[in-house]
Structure 1
Amino acid sequence: MADQFEVLCNDSTRPPRLFLASSAVTYQKNGEASISNASARVVLDEAAISPSPIELLDIAVAANEVRAYGAVSSYCIKSPAEQVLKLQLTSVGPSNTSWPLTLSMKRNALVGVGMNMQARLARRMYMDLPSLDALTSCSSVAAIDDFYSPENGSCVGYGCCKVPFAGRAGRRAPIDLSEFAVSFRPGNQLDWEEYPCSYGMVVETSWYNFSTPELYGYEVLPKKLQRGVPFVLDFAILNGSCPAKGQQPPPGYACASSNSFCTNTNTTGYVCHCIQGYEGNPYITNGCQDIDECKDPYLCPRRMQCINLAGSYECKCKSGTMIGAGGECIDIISTIAKVVAGGVGFILLLVILFIIIIQKEKRKTKGFYQKNGGLILENANFLKLYQKKELKPILKSMNFIGKGGFGQVYKGVLRNVLVAVKKPINGSVLENEQFANEVFIQSQINHKNIVRLIGCCLEVDIPMLVYEFLSKGLLTEKSDVYSFGVVILELISRERATYSNNNSLVRKFVEAHKKEVKSTEYFDKEIAVTRDLEILDCLAEVAVECLGLDVDQRPTMTEVAERLLKLSRSREL
């Protein structure tokens, strides 16, 4: 059986051409005869004509069909005494023998083109006046008037005729043709000068489209269709039939794909098909493959998604929708509910963000509190620790009363007490434990001549100090002694009280004095001349006394003024 389906590829041409290999039983013969007497019977000697293989156009495994090329037969008259007949005999299998290839009765038709002509389908290559042995035929008559004249695309008997093999009223359809040839009725060519040729062909039913210019000129149609016209062959598996339901397939069963099924033909044999939802070649293992129907974007209704299944598909509602009463997908949650849910979700998001910000701020505040010595100052009974939110109303531009080297000063009421809040500039305050110790000491000092430190706020990066507010004229003679000591230090060192990297000039100078380090190391080099060193040392002593932690031990401003006056007089001497 494999030999009967064998094909040959001629790759010497471009593109390559495909032919049936069994040339002994499948072939085409092209014959030609010159005729001088139109009424005489003409029979071509088929045995003397060399066969040629049948060229294939394509193979449709799913339809169990093969399309092949066939020639256009012609009967042309150059003059009443000079006529040329060209016929083709096509054999698709041996006569009276089962063969897998047969001429398709459903897909082919006999077509004739010409005026006052008759195209005939026969089993032999001949032309004769009687048509008793013709298998089928069709006739084309001359135009009667403009109403009955040839038209492009029309093949109803005026310039073109057509009879499908599948059967037609008043016509006899051929069955199981193994050999066939197209011939003509001789003679009756009254209009041969205008319409010199008649044509006939077995052609795929839907392929040929008649054109009126084909009626005029010599051998117009064969020249136009030099390769031929396509006709359809059916193929089947012979010497067997489909197994009954539940029966095991017989040996050599051709339907090899697991996703295939078998159908018996009208004659002998069977054919194989891929089951629904599969495509491919059912005659080989795994030849039938699943069709992905979901590649078609319009397969499922709107708002449905396509799910490919083995041999099938399913349309399901998309996420968030469901099947409604009308069979369409509708939203599970209404639009109003979506808006409400979206609003609630937005509010919850804002609440969560607010909580996160509050928690972050609390952690930040706690970190500042611990960094600024809050754990130490919690034990100071005379010192109040204020929260940042308590000082916030005071730290407004309308409450600003002054600015110094330490920072900005604001006036306000805090817990029913008139206070002055000092907001330091960056780097103007001691850090951590040292700051806490100094604030702890200052909070215990309660003297009529000193501005009392009420408390502080440690919940910021640089702590803020809260002092008792004293109006102008209420300062005593010792109120500014400490500040004056700072001024003296800045003058003799020519450095700010707080300079780079948060270094404190006061702390540095006092610690050096305690360690009995010479003060001359802190004097500005430009003023530290030999004759002024004694005066500079005296000024340094005054500054140290003014900066004493014990307020009672500090000199008064009057005493400081007297000592400075003495230094001035001694320098004049």
Structure 2
Amino acid sequence: MKHFQLLLITMYISTAIGSLNTLPGCNDTCGAVSIPYPFGFSPGCYLPGFNLSCSNVNGIYQPFLSEYELVSIDLSSARARIKNIISSICHSPTGKITSHAGSVSLMYTPYRFSNTQNKVSLIGCETFAFVGIWQDSTWGFTGGCVSECPDLVGIENGTCSGIGCCQTTIPKGMNYYEVEFDSRYNNSMVYKFNPCSYVVLMEDAGFVFDTSYITTTALLHKKVPLVLDWAIRNKTCKDAIRAGTSFACVSGNSECVDSTNDSGYWCKCSSGYQGNPYLIGGCQDINECVAMNPCAKSSECRNTPGGYECLCPFGRYARGHDGACELQVSVIIGICISPLAMLLLGLGIYILRERRKLNKVKQKYFKQHGGWLLFEEMKSSKDYGFTIFSEEDIKKATNNYDNTQIIGHGGHGTVYKGILKGNVVAIKKCKFIDESQKKEFGKEMLILSEINHKNIVKLLGCCLEVEVPILVYEFISNGTLFQKIHDKKHGFSFSLENRLRIALESAEALAYLHSSASPPILHGDVKSSNILLDDNYTAKVSDFGASILAPNNEAQFVTLVQGTCGYLDPECLLTCQLTDKSDVFSFGVVLLELLTSKLPIYFDNPGDEKVLSSCFLAAMKEDRVQEFLDYKIIEAAQMDLIMQVAELAKECLNLKGEERPSMKEVADILGRLMQKISQKIWVVNGLDEEVQSLLGDQPLSYNQNSRCFSIEREVAQEMQNGR
């Protein structure tokens, strides 16, 4: 079927473009052979080297390439076929040898023997022949084969494997060959059944061995086809295109092909086109619809430049190469899923609108919390080690606030462990924010981020595009002081020296906030759970969720009282003022925790709630402090030192804030006590005097039966009495 279609195409093309086979005024045939340009007979009708002759032989016109009869020319493969005489050698009973050793010379022409289409074929017994190239007065390639057969046994039709027949290939680039028989072989034993032997370079596809070639003289003086590869020699496509005017591929829709058999190039029409690429307009479109009608009956064939297409009615599509129309399932599916598509489109629009709303809300919160002011301040200076994180950053770092990431809860929020910018951090999700502080929040965060003290947890950044800002701190790995003191499983086994060191480091951190920070900063929620310990058990004061900047004047001083029950300054209940002495009071409670290992609010018996600070002060007045102390630190040699720490705690817990020491004074006293411990010098009296000189002698008032009472309750009572 395919061969029939190709025949139809060839016939159609021959009819449609026969007038474009050669140049005007030039003959395009000789006898029955078509002669397309670049071949021709007369000057101006051919390209250099492609001239032919047309001779009358026995009344029939035949084309010749030099002295060789031309059989055909194929432009599409750049090949030609000529007739080549078979060389022979014959032996008579009398011993006479008659030989004809032929040769073919195509030297100085655009032709080469095709190394892919031809083979050297030898037929005969006890025969050796070879062919060679004569070039520059020397032999070039030499090749041949040997055929042996002492008798006819083993010789078979169609087989050419060395018994009665042999073949060999030739190399590329050959344009001359000559045959020579080797006389050293003795044919006297075989001439009776093999009178002649033959050798020829011929088209391999046209040769089929027959045993009669051995026993008869049927091939004597016969001619066979020889395939030639031709090309425009001595230039590649690239060189020829660059040369311009001499480029042979002049037709549109044509292509240049580099020769694979020696240097040169040839031309062909592009796919879907046929004709003569060496003539202007020679390559013309093939109308496949007329030539071969390739589409099925159910479809309509439409010719296109270089091809065709099969058209089907609406709702059907062309299947395969023949264009048979089948039901287009995609159309049916499209009709069926249109409602679903509309639903998905509507859902997409809804999601897009919700995202826009969410972004507007985020921008609103960012502005409310002073984010733009913070951003501008950070942009003006590149030295800030502070980052504004997005909500997506925080969610990713906490695995969307996964409960397994929680490392702490507080009155002001929940703390998560997370990873931001490749670093482990503590992320605090605050519960609330003072509405009056919103606009200044961003500015305050920037000030807090500038705090740089070895005993203060570093504030790394914040997220402001949420309703309540989220704070990001450096991560401290060893938990809180509260956990170490009150962990019932492991117990608090720190020595007195380590306890005082932790107290000193915490006091120095608070003193830095009060005295060295600019502007001064009040912590507002000092407690053991806000004192973290690193791997070396160094104290790190944390949780600035309650921190405020110290006010500049009395009008700014009133603020919301914050803190944790058991640590809260009772004076705040009277004045509603949070001062630096409020942090001192809370620190005094932390000192008591370090000395006693008791909770700020604890139970002696079920239902018997007691406040540590109140009970401790009562014990101090009744001289029974030792009952409150952690037995692990009680040593006779250290009791005087412990009592001095207890005396310092008492002064920190003074009901009157103005009579409490400052945090700097507290840190100085603890520093001197640490020196005493490290040097093992116990000058108790001198230290007592030093404490007295720094703090003064401020007696406290207790009820007469020395009961353990609540300071908060006493303050409330005094408020009722009009204090």
Q: TM-score range by the shorter chain?
A: 0.3 to 0.5
- Name the structure with the higher helix share: 2
Structure number with the higher strand fraction is 1
Q: Is the radius of gyration larger for structure 1 or structure 2?
A: 1
Task: Normalising by structure 2, report the TM-score.
Answer: 0.35
| TM-score, with structure 1 as normaliser | 0.44
